[in-house]
Structure 1
Amino acid sequence: MTSTTPADPSAPADAGPAPQPATGTDDPLRHGLRTRHLTMMGLGSAIGAGLFLGSGVGIATAGPAVLVSYALAGALVVLVMRMLAEMASAVPSSGSFSVYAEKALGRWAGFTLGWVYWFTIVMVLGVEVTGVARIVTGWAPGVPQWAVALAVVALFAVVNLVGVRQFGEMEFWFAAVKVVAIVAFLVVGTALVLGLLPGTDPVGTSVLLEDGFAPTGVAGIAAGLLVVVFAFGGIEIVTIAAAEAEEPQRAVARATRSIVWRVLLFYVGSVALMVLVLPWDAPALQQGPFVAVLDLAGLAGAARLMEVVVVLALLSAFNANVYATSRMAFSLAGRGDGPAVLRRVSGRDVPWVAVVVSVVLALVAVALNWLLPDALLGILLNAVGASLLVVWLLVAVSQLRLRPRLEAEARAAGRPLELRMWLYPWLTWATLAALAGVVVLMATDAAARAQLAATTGLVAVVVAVYGVTALVRRRRARAHAGG
């Protein structure tokens, strides 16, 4: 049984200059998530294949100095998340940064950011399920990849449709497995560094400094920053899920405070262990950095163990991203910036049409991955490569403009802001300058430059679509007024 719910009363009208967006209450959705769900959701989304597999690429690019790259990227993410959490704790919404961009800059910004993010995550869904299928068919060669992909999509469609509490529980335990794996790696790696494992001696800094801390120089650190900066993507799901949390203002503030520091510890701690025990240019680090360290520690079956962890990481990310895309589409539809059918909710208060659309398009992305790996898919993946940067930039601009308004609203309600950005507005401006610096770095790197150009093209297409839809709305409004 399904029901169609109207758009929020405060949603923008079909015409007129930059109307106010929905308040973010998302009334048709059930408040079934707890703080522990939000915390583990954010951790699980940020700790994915980018850490388990991609950290070796960063080390090969910058050497041990990749730690500087991770520290810089991590600091940038901490600042962006603080800004986003400030807005989300004041105005929890399933549209998150899309809603805040609309409130700060106008309807065009909310439309653009919402649909760019939605398209990005749909493409990522296809990559994640393809990764799972390839690993699983390596274990069972007789099983076709399409069958594994279909099973994964069907399973998580059901998980996302049965209810937000059930989704939160599954995501909690998926993420918990990844966190336990990281903690276990940190323990084993530390024991290896200190010479506490059988047949080992303390490693000191001989391996770390064998070719110097920064063997590829400042250019290597800059290139490493481009490799690692987007690895932190995924934490933003906490602010999307805030609308369905119990006591959303407090839940998102508590979850965000704990997530960013834990993610930094996991990333920087893991990479520090890798460069302490293995030469930065060791081929094993690029093939599988975690496996390389565990093999050195004498842990039998390390490769297969990490394959299992990577599969769980991809499944967890897939599950969370189905949630994120469906809620973003639900929010856009509620504000009149998407098909009204995406606003339909089930008897369990789940936006079931938006969920179904997300999983179907994930299958389409999988098909593109197999049929056109070097053609259309490559173009699409390039287009989403720098989209996280677009989100971060508009988050900073939105916070810069909304902070005075949020403070005024809080004073009028007789309460303080639950969470504040540090040293406003100076630190916000510094963050914007740092993000602009990342854009400049991307423009100097051939591969990153292609991603930047493709993402710019994607944003331009979405803005053009908004312009056409806005023109149609105005004509309809004039025709209705004249009739």
Structure 2
Amino acid sequence: MPDQSTGCNNAKGKGSTGNGSVSWWHLSLIGVGCTIGTGYFLGSAIGIRYAGPSIVFSFMLAAIGTYIVYNLLAKMTAEDPQEGSFCYYAAKAFGKWAGFSCGWNYWSSNILIMGSQLTALAILSQFWFPKIPLWIFATVYAILSLLIVLLGNNGFDKAEDLFAIIKTSAILMFILIAALALFGVIDGNGELPEFSMRQNDLLPQGMNGLWSSLIYAFYAYGGIEVIGLMAMQLKDKKEAPKAGNVMLIILTFIYVASLTMAVLLISLNAFNDKESPFVTALSMYHLPFFPHVFNGAIIIAGFSALTAALFGVTNLLVTLAKDGDAPKIFEKKLRKPKDLPLPSLGLAATGLIASVVTALLLPGKVYEYLTTAAGILLLYNWAFIILSAFKILRQKRSGIILGIMGLILLLSAVTGTIMEKSIRFGFYISMMLVALIALVTFFMNKKWKKEQRGKMSPS
């Protein structure tokens, strides 16, 4: 799951021409650490269930789509450096309505991402305490996250780098141990599953399974637009594309290598969405320490992502209010604790409460629904990035073709959720939120046009 700790800050802000302090390779490493999240550690199990070994191809296709999106965003950043990122570029390309809807779509996707993270943490905690209901764990993590935000723990931000290292180290540890298991260095309780390149083995549910798994592959790369925001901190803004390319190469290698190891180590029937596929893959081997260490590492890192996302969503709504894209009440802050945006935090907390209630009512499907809906909303913003680039950048025919290819991949991931009945409800949730945002945008746009005519009319 993406660690999206920042939002469309200063979406209509002034350009930034100052020099940053981050080198391109440092941004690449930050991007890798921030992007790997619980969505990958747990969500990939759902993708394996639908696609089988071909989940590897889903992640390769998603890497291509992600590359296209980031490359265009990085080019816009290099040409016109802005603090506001993709929301600013959407407004620049299509008008105020696009920036408004982009900002609220991003806020909504982050609320769903928080819900997905919260549920993932609860599911992972059931690894040790299977009899405790999902909603109880979700409630505990939600309260702890809110307390950290309320206390204004400044040291928490400094710990983010450490948590990123923990996540990355966990998956690299799996790749190393899995390689040793495949080569027979580590003994297991059973034989390796037979595998061939026949279609039934590669695509156990046919092309529909591969299609449905695309959303979970894209979701694992989620957060790339946040790295686009961080590109403003580069010493040389023109190195943003290079930073993104290196980051994606590293991410794709880690994802593809670990998933290939997982599907080779154990039968596909053994995977389930109640535990990480990497824990499942090594369950037949004499490694009593691994499941507990790996699970604990994911929970620590996942909780940091949840809290960082709560910080980000809260601040995003404050920014939207300052820009006139949200009610002014969300701009207000309490002096004690230090500059606490209580109304904005309250609305974000409502989203967390809704996730807890959903976990109570739909404990079996809540993670799939929230992850699917969050992934779809994320891809809507990615589509905004591509469409904005079409209008803002002067591109050669090859660049336009690449952008169209990116839109096709995004559309494929979204429509794939319709093909699978068990995750289709997540598609409906995303459609409901998009329709609501579109309706509000329509009325706001009429208001803006009326105000504009009033300014233009003679006094």
TM-score by length of 1: 0.76
CA distance in 2, matches of 1:255, 1:201: 43
Q: How does 1:301-380 map to 2 (within 5 A)?
A: 301-326=289-314, 328-329=316-317, 331-333=319-321, 335-339=323-327, 353=341, 359-373=345-359, 374=361
Shift of 1:185: 0.8
CA distance in 2, matches of 1:38, 1:352: 29
Shift of 1:197: 2.6
3-state secondary structure, aligned to 1:395: helix
2:265 counterpart residue number: 277
3-state secondary structure, aligned to 1:233: coil
1:389 counterpart residue number: 379
2:435 to 445, 450, 460: 460
2:142 counterpart residue number: 149
Structure 2 vs 1, CA of residues 60 and 467 (structure 1 numbering), >3 Å: closer, same or farther? closer
Aligned residues of 1:22 and 1:334 also touching (Cα < 8 A): no
Shift of 1:45: 3.7
**Unmatched segments (≥5 aa) in structure 1:** 1-6, 12-20, 408-420
Deviations 1:216-249 (A, max 9, x none): 3223222222443323212221123344x25372
Aligned residues of 1:40 and 1:171 also touching (Cα < 8 A): no
Of 426-435 and 392-401, more deviation after overlay is shown by 426-435
Deviations 1:350-379 (A, max 9, x none): 9853xx55543343223222335448x979
How many residues get paired?
438
**Unmatched segments (≥5 aa) in structure 2:** 1-8
Shift of 1:178: 0.4
3-state secondary structure, aligned to 1:25: coil
Of 435-444 and 378-387, more deviation after overlay is shown by 378-387
Aligned residues of 1:52 and 1:290 also touching (Cα < 8 A): yes
Structure 2 vs 1, CA of residues 131 and 425 (structure 1 numbering), >3 Å: closer, same or farther? closer
Shift of 1:56: 2.2
Deviations 1:301-350 (A, max 9, x none): 33322321221231232244235435544554454433567668999xx9
1:97 correspondence with 2:94:
no
Structure 2 vs 1, CA of residues 380 and 471 (structure 1 numbering), >3 Å: closer, same or farther? farther
TM-score by length of 2: 0.79
Structure 2 vs 1, CA of residues 257 and 371 (structure 1 numbering), >3 Å: closer, same or farther? same
2:75 to 74, 86, 89: 86
Letter in 2 for 1:387: L
Structure 2 vs 1, CA of residues 400 and 122 (structure 1 numbering), >3 Å: closer, same or farther? same
3-state secondary structure, aligned to 1:386: helix
Of 72-81 and 177-186, more deviation after overlay is shown by 72-81
Q: How does 1:409-420 map to 2 (within 5 A)?
A: none
CA distance in 1, matches of 2:229, 2:334: 19
2:62 to 67, 73, 80: 73
Aligned residues of 2:214 and 2:412 also touching (Cα < 8 A): no
2:404 counterpart residue number: 429
Of 326-335 and 363-372, more deviation after overlay is shown by 326-335
Aligned residues of 1:126 and 1:364 also touching (Cα < 8 A): no
Structure 2 vs 1, CA of residues 351 and 471 (structure 1 numbering), >3 Å: closer, same or farther? farther
Percent identity, aligned pairs only, is 25
Q: How does 1:183-262 map to 2 (within 5 A)?
A: 183-197=172-186, 206-207=194-195, 212-243=201-232, 245=233, 247=235, 249=237, 252-262=240-250
Deviations 1:77-99 (A, max 9, x none): 12212222222333344432111
Aligned residues of 2:22 and 2:235 also touching (Cα < 8 A): no
CA distance in 1, matches of 2:150, 2:447: 34
CA distance in 2, matches of 1:443, 1:303: 34
Shift of 1:182: 0.9
The root-mean-square deviation of aligned C-alpha atoms, in Å, is: 4.1
CA distance in 2, matches of 1:136, 1:202: 29
